[in-house]
Structure 1
Amino acid sequence: MLCDWRGVPVGAMHSWGNTPTFVSRRQHAQVSMSLPRQKNAWMQIVKAKIRGQAHCLDICERSGGNELRELAKTVHSGDSTNVEGQAARKYWQYLFDESEDFHRKPGAGEGRNSQFDYAYAVLRGFVVKAIFSAGLSPTFGVNHHNRANYFCLADDLIEPYRPAIDAQIANLDIQDSTLNQESKAALVHAVNAQFNAGLTIPSSINDFAQQFGLYCESKQRALSVPVFGADDEEG
């Protein structure tokens, strides 16, 4: 991985020589994956993300966790009714109380929004690295399909891990809501923190990318998605 002066990943290097044959086979399977399997994968990802958000609320001693768990049960194939968006609106309202007057705005560049943007950028770098390591193409996602975005798959697979970062940021001192050297160090530490079952977040991401590769090749009937704070009991 290559980083800019802020330590944010901006590039990755991948060998052109001695490329294992499984890479081309896996990427062909990824591109050829049927639409129903893509939609099913996204459904499982959204369910896992919402359940992780519920756990984040629990450990931050906020209300709303059970409400989100019930919402997660209503996600259908491809999240056709946008339960992810419904859950997000409730989630951010519960996570930060009215006294903070917080509204999640990606790219806002100040306060807690800058902390989320920075941490998510570091997290995204780990996801991109895991995708390449798993022999997958970052271009072809299951839900994100923007032609201007080379990392559509990364923006899909990152979702279950966001709540783990959110919990860290929510517990930062409210008086230190700007992005400085101290908070950057805390955010990088958050991205390297434990996720589940003794795995760190980067290690879990590596495993998840490999699982997704097997799912693309139909070696797994269903995509097993990690859930922050719980094993994925729903499969």
Structure 2
Amino acid sequence: MDRVVDISTDNSRVSADRGFLVVSQADGATGRVPLDDIAAVILHAHGVIWTARVATELAKRSAPLVICDVNHAPVAVLLALEGHHAQGARIRDQWSASRPLSKQLWKRIVSAKITTQAGLLAALGRREVAPLLELARRVRSGDPENLEAQAARKYWPALMGPDFRRDRSEGGANSLLNYGYTVLRACVARSIVAAGLNPSIGLHHENRGNAFALADDLIEPFRPLVDATVLGLIEAGVSEVTPDAKRRLASIIALDLRLDGEVTPLTVAIRRLAHSLVISFRDRRANLAIFDAPDRNSWSRWVGRVPGEVADVERISADVDVRDV
């Protein structure tokens, strides 16, 4: 069972006690979540006090502590330094991976992302499906033509309308996207560390200030799942990151995907992708386990789901939300 714990009540105190994450508030309300069940903790509120023991206990479990700004984009992430008994050998394989191998891996990621974007547009009956599929087919090693960006310029207007611009600093749909991507990024980072890889050594993203470059690589095929959920929220009249919106976006980690002929939760698909990257580095051959493009019914179900329909949502208190898988 994986849980994303979101803390958005001001002046909360977060501590660890006897195997539980404990959230206390000024009015006396207290919530407890088993530490072993936590996939990530996301902090939004001002004045939250958290103890060093919380950070230590989460790190032992490779569960990231994510700190967000007012637009719900992450500004800091605390993550474990060690996550696997073979970490040293795996990081050496990762570090010594050839540039051609990294480019081949990035090609597969970009092609999968664009194909998934096209699948979402097709399920919605939108335009630009054929051009996106053509771009996905044309992606070459390393994506030297930057077809990922070309696809984005077609995809966002077709999905969100001609006036939409993807901007992390903006509110509305952009804030909802920020939050959903934050949930995904935390899960991907956790799986990378748990697999014994270093999240700062990316395949394509190479910004020296980005400690999670590899997470930003591997998240790409999963982004349209967030986009579909945000579209559903917008169409339901939800334009801000409300508690209900957070629960729905956090529920993304429970979506069922098809991978190698089996149905598996998104969190498991992420772990399998990270492990397949380990094998690719070891064998010096690109062989990524990327989920199959969802069918039309799956897309329609994810877009059409209304806030509150997700089962097994436990609320610690007014604005402390936990999502179970």
Question: Per the shorter chain, which TM-score range?
Answer: 0.7 to 0.9
Residues 101, 284 of structure 2: 8 Å contact kept: no
The secondary structure found in structure 2 opposite 1:172 is helix
For residues 152 and 117 of structure 1, what CA distance do their matches in structure 2 show?
17
Look up the equivalent residue of 1:69 and give its one-letter code: L
CA contact (8 A) 1:164 1:228 kept: no
Identity among equivalent pairs (%): 34
Contact 1:138 1:150 in 2 (8 A): yes
Question: Structure 1 residues 8, 179: CA separation in 2 closer, same or farther (over 3 Å shift)?
Answer: farther
Query: What's the TM-score once normalised by structure 2's chain length?
Result: 0.64
**Structure 1 gap segments, 5+ residues each:** 231-235
Residue 89 (structure 1) aligned to one of 134, 153, 158: 153
CA RMSD of aligned residues (A): 2.2
Alpha-carbon distance, 1:16 to partner: 5.4
Deviations along 1:128-179, whole A, 9 cap, x unmatched? 0100111100010010111111101000000010011111111224321111
Cα shift at 1:15: 7.0
Task: Choose 192-201 or 143-152, whichever is displaced more.
Answer: 192-201
Q: Hey, what does 1:40 align to over in structure 2? A: 104
> Structure 1 pair 181/44, CA: closer, same or farther in 2 (3 Å)?
same
Is 1:49 paired with 2:88?
A: no
Q: Whole-Å Cα distance in 2 between the matches of residues 36 and 193 of structure 1? A: 33
For residues 1-235 of structure 1, what are the structure 2 equivalents within 5 Å? 1-5=40-44, 9-10=66-67, 11-14=77-80, 20=85, 22-98=86-162, 101-108=163-170, 110-174=171-235, 175-196=237-258, 197-218=262-283, 220-229=285-294
2 CA distance for matches of 1:16 and 1:116? 30
Distance 1:161 1:195 in 2: 10
Change (3 A) 1:52 1:16: closer
Distance 1:13 1:48 in 2: 27
Q: Which runs of 5+ in 2 are unaligned?
A: 1-39, 46-63, 68-76, 296-325
Structure 2 residue matching 1:49: 3-state secondary structure: helix
1:223: how far off?
3.1
Cα distance in 2 for residues equivalent to 1:227 and 1:162: 14
Between the two proteins, the alignment pairs up a number of residues equal to 225
Cα separation, partners in 2 of 1:141 and 1:16, compared to 1, 3 Å: closer
In structure 1, the residue corresponding to 2:185 is in which secondary structure? helix
Q: Which has the higher strand share?
A: 2
3-state SS of 1:84 partner: helix
The structure-2 alpha-carbon separation of the partners of 1:8 and 1:193, relative to structure 1 and needing over 3 Å to count, comes to farther
- The structural deviation recorded for 1:2 is 3.9
For the structure 1 residues 130 and 43, does the alpha-carbon distance in structure 2 shift closer, same or farther, using more than 3 Å as the test?
Answer: same
Q: Greater share of helix residues, 1 or 2?
A: 1
Deviation of 1:79 after TM superposition, in Å, equals 0.3
Give the ranges of 4+ consecutive aligned residues of structure 1 lying more than 6 Å apart after TM superposition. Answer: none
SS where residue 9 of structure 1 aligns? strand
Letter in 1 for 2:138: T
* TM-score of the two chains, using structure 1 as the length reference: 0.88
Q: Which amino acid aligns with 1:210?
A: H
- Which structure ranks higher in relative contact order (CA pairs < 8 Å, sequence separation ≥ 6)? 1
